[in-house]
A and B are shown apart, each in its own frame.
Chain A
Amino acid sequence: MATKLAESRPDGELQRKSVDAVVIRFAGDSGDGMQLTGTQFTQSTALMGNDLATFPDFPAEIRAPVGTTYGVSAFQINFASYDIMTPGDAPDVLVAMNPAALKVHLRDVPKGGTIVLNTDAFTDRNIAKAGFGANPLEDGTLDNYVTIEIDIQKMTLAAVAGLGVTNKEALRCKNMWALGLMCWMYDRDRQPTVDWIEQRFGKRAPEIAKANIAALNAGHAYGETAELPSGIPAYIVPKADVQPGVYRAVTGTEAVAWGLVTGARKAGLKLFFGSYPITPASSLLHTLSNLKQYGVTTFQAEDEIAAVCSAIGASFAGSIGVTSSSGPGVALKTEGITLAFAAELPLVIVNSQRGGPSTGLPTKTEQSDLYQAVYGRNADSPLPVIASCTAGDCFFAAIEAVRIAVTYMTPVILLTDGYLANAAEPWEIPDIDEVPDFKVDFATAGEGFHPFLRDGKTLARNWAVPGTPGLMHRIGGIEKSYDTGHISYDPDNHHRMTKVRAAKVDGIADDIPLQEVASGPKSGRLAVVGWGSTFGAINQAVERSLAAGLDVAHIHIRHVWPLPRNLGELLAGYEKILVPEMNNGQLITVLRDRFLVPAEGLNQISGLPFKVSDLEAAIRERLES
Chain B
Amino acid sequence: MNVQTPVEQLKPADYASDQEVRWCPGCGDYAIVKSVQRTMADLKLAPENVVFISGIGCAARFPYYMATYGFHTIHGRAPAIATGTKLANPDLDIWVVMGDGDCLSIGGNHTLHAIRRNVDIQMLLFNNEIYGLTKGQYSPTSRLGTRSPSTPQGSIDAPVNATVFALGAGARFVARSVDTNQKHLPGILKRAHAHRGASFVEIIQNCIVYNDGAFSGWTDKAAAADSQILVEHGQKLVFGKDGDRGLRLDRDSLSLEVVTVGENGVTEDDILVHDETNRVLANLLGAMEHPEFPVAIGVLYCNPAETYDAAVHRQIAETLEKTPPTDLNAMLRSGRTWTVAPG
Contact = CB atoms under 8 A, between A and B. Distances in A.
Interface stretch (A462-470, A507-515, A574-582): A462-470
18 contacts: A247-B340, A248-B335, A258-B331, A295-B325, A297-B312, A306-B110, A311-B84, A313-B82, A313-B88, A319-B89, A429-B337, A466-B85, A467-B49, A467-B89, A469-B3, A469-B46, A472-B67, A474-B63
Contacts of B212: none
Contact of A312 (B5, B84, B86, B327): B84
A198 interface: no
B338 A303 contact: no
- 4 nearest CB pairs, A to B: A313-B84, A476-B72, A310-B84, A474-B70
A317 B113 CA distance: 21
Interface in A353-407: none
A487 B88 contact: no
A249 B342 contact: no
B113 A306 contact: yes
A292 B80 contact: no
B80 A313 contact: yes
A339 B73 contact: yes
- Could you say which of A245, A270, A316, A339 has the most chain B C-beta atoms within 10 Å of its C-beta? A316
A411 interface: no
A154 to B, nearest CB: 33
A475 B2 CA distance: 21
A433 to B, nearest CB: 7
Contacts of A309: 73-74, 77, 80-81, 83-84, 110
A294 B81 contact: no
Contact of A294 (B3, B331, B335): B331
B125 to A, nearest CB: 18
B340 A245 contact: yes
A221 to B, nearest CB: 25
Contact of A246 (B70, B315, B325, B333): B333
Contact of A46 (B64, B331, B338): B338
B77 A248 contact: no
Contacts of A469: 3, 5, 46, 48
B342 A244 contact: yes
A91 interface: no
Contact of A299 (B84, B92, B342): B84
Nearest to B72: A476
Contacts of B67: 472
Contacts of A609: none
- Could you say which of A248, A262, A431 has the most chain B C-beta atoms within 10 Å of its C-beta? A248
Contact of B17 (A293, A312, A474): A474
A467 B325 contact: no
Contacts, number: 210
Contacts of B320: 292-293
Nearest to A245: B340
Interface string A286-327: 000001111101010111011001111111111101000000
Interface string A437-469: 000000000000000000000000000011111
Contacts of A73: none
Given A310-B80, A319-B88, A473 B110 contact: no
B87 interface: yes
Interface string A460-499: 0000011111111111111000000011000000000000
- Could you say which of B5, B73, B91, B112 has the most chain A C-beta atoms within 10 Å of its C-beta? B73
Interface string B305-343: 000000010011001100111011101110111111111
A431 B329 contact: yes
A243 interface: yes
A248 B63 contact: no
Nearest to B321: A293
Contacts of A292: 315-316, 319-320
B87 A248 contact: no
Interface in B79-123: 80-89, 91-92, 109-110, 112-113
B30 interface: no
A272 interface: yes
Contact of B89 (A295, A335, A466): A466
Contacts of B343: 244
Nearest to B18: A486
B53 interface: yes
